[in-house]
Amino acid sequence: MEYLIPLAIFAALGILAGVLLTVASKVFAVEVDERVDAIAEALPQANCGACGFSGCADYADAIVNKGAECNLCRPGGEAAAKKIAEIMGVEVTVTEPQVAFVRCSGDCSHTPHKYDFDGIQSCVACNRFYDGSKLCTSGCLGYGDCIKVCSQGAISIVDGIAVIDKAKCMGCGLCAKACPNGLIAVRRISQAVDICCSS
């Protein structure tokens, strides 16, 4: 019998805490516009930041609550822009798809190495030593930092320089941010012509 009183007190406290939590969740609930979730689902969930926002969820929120343009998602392209515009009930200007391209043609036959780099196999690491291991200090170092950030498998190293498969590239720009020499740029497909950085 003496154990029943403490049990009753704990049970009453548990019920009271549950009621208070339920009331608090209703009182302090933040209403979320259903369009935010719908737009987030229409986006490719690449979370690349190419739109200028921290990720797809942040971009979806910015469209609904801050008036961001509907066509900023490069990976989603025209299809995502049209879905978003339909959700928002607006017209959208479809922009030409963008892809990355490498502004360097200094492959192994054109640009010899000035030393053998045996450190961490990274462009950033190699670039710290005498501006890279190649005689051309502004060219592609060829260690594939851009490959590591490409979620589409659109980049490969061919004969010492990065080569981008435009059919796979979604134009997110992560590879451009990863290149320590700034050799990768993202342009509209009609402008993405592979050129040497020195031209």
Least confident stretch, 53-57, 95-99, 149-153, 178-182: 95-99
pLDDT digits (tens, 9 = 90+) for 60-104: 999 999 999 999 998 888 889 999 999 999 988 777 788 899 988
Read off the pLDDT band of 131 (50, 70, 90). confident
Domains 34-88 and 98-191 share a fold: no
What percentage of residues in the chain have a pLDDT greater than 70? Answer: 92
Supply the pLDDT for residue 157: 93
Supply the pLDDT for residue 124: 94
Supply the pLDDT for residue 191: 67
Supply the pLDDT for residue 183: 92
Top pLDDT among 19 and 6 is at 19
Q: Are 141 and 180 in contact (CB under 8 A)?
A: yes
Alpha carbon separation from 161 to 81, 107, 155 (Å, rounded): 34, 6, 10
Q: Are 56 and 40 in contact (CB under 8 A)?
A: yes
pLDDT of 154 > 90? The answer is yes
Provide CB contacts within 8 A for 107, sequence distance 6+: 158, 159, 160, 161
Supply the pLDDT for residue 49: 84
Q: How far, in Å, CA of 161 to CA of 68, rounded?
A: 37
Q: How far, in Å, CA of 114 to CA of 124, rounded?
A: 17
**Mean pLDDT over each residue of the chain, to the nearest integer:** 85
pLDDT of 199 > 50? The answer is no
Read off the pLDDT band of 193 (50, 70, 90). low
Fold of the domain spanning 34-88: 3-methyladenine DNA Glycosylase II; Chain A, domain 3 (1.10.15)
Please, which residues bridge with residue 155 across strands? Answer: 164
Q: At what angle do helices 56-66 and 77-88 cross, to 10 degrees?
A: 40
Fold of the domain spanning 98-191: Alpha-Beta Plaits (3.30.70)
Read off the pLDDT band of 198 (50, 70, 90). very low
What percentage of residues in the chain have a pLDDT greater than 90? Answer: 39
Going from N- to C-terminal start, the domains of the chain cover: 1-30, 34-88, 98-191
